[in-house]
Amino acid sequence: MNDVELQWIAGVIDAEGSIEMSTQRAKRMSYIVIIRRHRIRISTTDNIIIPKIAKLLNRNFADNNYRKTITINSNQCKKLLIKLLPYLYIKQPQAKLLLKAMSIKDGKNTPYTIKENNQWAYICDKVQKLNMRGKYAPIDNYQRNHTFSWPWLAGLIDGDGTITNSEFGPRNCCTIKPIVKISLTNLKTIEYLSKQLNIKSLPSGGGKGNKRITRAIRLMSNNIYNIIPNILPFLTLKKERALLAFEIVRLRREIPNGQNNHKNIVKVKELINKLDILN
* 175 occurs within a structural domain: yes
Helices (H) and strands (E) in the chain, counts: 10, 8
Residues 220-249: what's their mean pLDDT?
Answer: 94
Residues 118 and 215 in one domain: no
Mean pLDDT lowest among 26-30, 98-102, 155-159, 264-268: 26-30
Mean pLDDT lowest among 34-48, 149-163, 167-181, 218-232: 167-181
Q: Residue 192: which domain range? A: 150-278
Residues 126 and 30 in one domain: yes
Tens of pLDDT, residues 158-195: 999 999 988 776 666 667 889 999 998 888 899 999 99
Nearest Cα to Cα of residue 19 among 61, 69, 73: 73
H-type alpha helices, 207-238: 222-231
DSSP state of 133: -
What pLDDT is attached to residue 182?
93
Residues 188 and 73 in one domain: no
Residues 273 and 156 in one domain: yes
Confidence of residue 74 (pLDDT cuts 50, 70, 90): confident
Position 209 pLDDT exceeds 80: no
Residues 250-262: what's their mean pLDDT?
Answer: 78
Position 30 pLDDT exceeds 70: no
Rounded-to-integer distance, Cα 86 and Cα 81, Å: 9
Write the CATH number for 194: 3.10.28.10
Residues 6 or more apart whose Cβ sits within 8 Å of residue 263:
none
Rounded-to-integer distance, Cα 245 and Cα 224, Å: 7
Position 152 pLDDT exceeds 90: yes
* 70 occurs within a structural domain: yes
Residues 85-111: what's their mean pLDDT?
Answer: 87
* 119 occurs within a structural domain: yes
Give 11 or 258, the one with higher predicted confidence: 11
Query: pLDDT > 70: what percent of the chain?
Result: 89
Residues 180 and 63 in one domain: no
Prediction pTM value: 0.90
Which residue among 76, 99, 130 closes a domain? Answer: 130
Position 69 pLDDT exceeds 90: yes
Confidence of residue 136 (pLDDT cuts 50, 70, 90): low
Position 257 pLDDT exceeds 80: no
Residues 166 and 232 in one domain: yes
Residues 40-60: what's their mean pLDDT?
Answer: 92
Residues 13 and 75 in one domain: yes
Rounded-to-integer distance, Cα 215 and Cα 195, Å: 14
Rounded-to-integer distance, Cα 51 and Cα 53, Å: 6
Domains in the chain, number: 2
Tens of pLDDT, residues 105-130: 766 677 888 888 889 889 999 998 88
